Amino acid sequence: MSILILPSNFVRRNLALSAALVLFAGASVSVMNGQTSQASSEIAEQRIAASAQAQGLNQEVGAIGEVRSSSSTSSSLSSNPSEDTVAANVEPFNFANAMQYNGRPRYGRPRYRGGNTNPDGSSKWIFYGGAGLAQPAGNTWKYFTPSWGLQIGGGRQLNAHFAVPAEFDYDRFGLTKQAMANQSYIYTLDPNAADNGIDANGHTWSFSIDPRYTIVNPTGEGFGAYVLADVGFYHKVTNFTAPQEAEYYDPYYGPQFVEVQGIFDHYTSNAPGFGGGIGATYKFSHFSNERFYAEARYVFIDNSQRQGLTAAYLAAQLALNANYIYPGNNAFPANSNRTTYIPVKFGLQF
């Protein structure tokens, strides 16, 4: 005899509840997959539409429709939502670049432009400094001799060719033998006073604006060339010195006396100055900012002539009157002569 055992009511209720939960979970997964696929497709369409709107090209409208169609087809064929996302991230065809460069890719050295760089890639500022020779010219060479000079400048560079720097120059000179003999006679009344210890020096210093235009190789390495102009304020000085006794205190021996060259006569003249010149540069490498430069210019200082005592005039007056005394105080009128000289400088430009 067989015995049939039926499940109890509790077991039947638990089985029915489990089956309902399984069906509900499967339906939820299906709905979530459908929403995820739809959201991925919508995100892809929004990205492509935003790219076309930013480019402002009406021709992209047809392409967007094709991309949408292909995206929809891909979503229906593929069950992996990540494939739709990868396809949406592909950069669209740039019609504007293709038209601008005739469909060819553009090659060339990239330009990096910062706040201190002009649109053509040149620096907005120029700085330089150098030293060299100061050569008197014209009437100036009759009383001044060549010596040395210094130069420093910097300012705005508008582009690779044109710059407008401000500049300070100091150019020193000596006095010729004839000028020193004349002055020695004026000071000592001895025409043969060659070894009386009197000495002299002169110099000019200036503040000027010096616009320059680079005509050869403004940016590349190797040799370049430029032209410049000069306008500014010039201060001309001549000093006469003689041996003088000076005192100083020594901590071991007390007060001491030494002989030094001290200034006993001094002349100045202020005037506007003008000039122009040429220069050559050499850039050491393509990646460096430094250039070696050499330049020469002609400087004209428009000094106002002042009357004064000369050796010839003093000799003529003494011949008439042995007790003649010059009533003025300008014993070197050449310092107020119009001045011309040629400074030649060598240095580095940044």
Q: Residue 268's closest CA among 339, 168, 176?
A: 339
Answer whether 0.85 is exceeded by the pTM: no
282: phi then psi, degrees, rounded to nearest 5: -140, 120
Q: How far apart are CA 346 and CA 292, in angstroms?
A: 8
pLDDT attached to residue 121: 79
Answer yes or no: is 116 within a domain: no
Helix (H, G, I), strand (E, B) or coil at 73: helix
**Residues 182, 281 within the same domain:** yes
Query: CA angle, 178 as apex, 177 and 180 as ends, to 5°?
Result: 65
Q: Where are the alpha helices (DSSP H) in the chain?
A: 9-55, 60-77, 81-88, 95-100, 177-188, 311-320
Considering the domain architecture, whether residues 62 and 167 belong to the same structural domain is answered as no
The structure tokens listed for 343 are: 């400074």
pLDDT range class, residue 1, cuts 50, 70, 90: very low
Statement: residue 136 has pLDDT above 90: yes
Domain co-membership, 33 together with 138: no
Q: What is the pLDDT of residue 271?
A: 98
Which tens digit of pLDDT belongs to each residue from 49-104? 555 454 554 444 444 444 444 444 444 434 444 444 444 444 454 544 444 444 45
Q: Do 28 and 152 sit in the same domain of this protein?
A: no
SS (H, E, C) 210-278: CCEEEEECCCCCEEEEEEEEEEEEEEEEEEEEEEEEEEEEECCCEEEEEEEEEEEEEEEEEEEEEEEEE
Domain of residue 217 covers 125-349
Q: Residue 270 and residue 138: Cα distance in Å, rounded?
A: 19
End-to-end CA distance of the chain: 115
| Judgement on whether residues 170 and 234 belong to the same structural domain of the protein | yes
> For the chain, how many structural domains are there in total?
2
The answer to whether position 261 is within a domain reads yes
| Single residue among 58, 84, 99 that ends a domain in this structure | 99
Looking at the structure, tell me whether residues 159 and 304 fall in a common domain: yes
In a domain, 115, yes or no: no
Domain finish residue from 99, 116, 142: 99
Gap between the Cα atoms of 206 and 236, Å rounded: 9
pLDDT 10s digits, 30-44: 444 444 444 444 554
Does 330 lie in the same domain as 194? yes
- Mind listing the pLDDT tens digit for each residue in 285-342? 877 788 999 999 999 999 999 999 999 999 999 999 999 999 999 999 999 999 999 9
Is the residue at 170 inside a domain?
A: yes
- Say which CATH number the domain at 169 has: 2.40.160.20
Residues 94 and 183 in one domain: no
Around Cβ 156, how many Cβ atoms within 10 Å? 12
Burial of 176 (0-12, 13-18, 19+ CB in 10 A): middle
Q: Is 104 among the domain residues?
A: no
Q: Is residue 9 part of a domain?
A: no
* 49 domain-assigned: yes
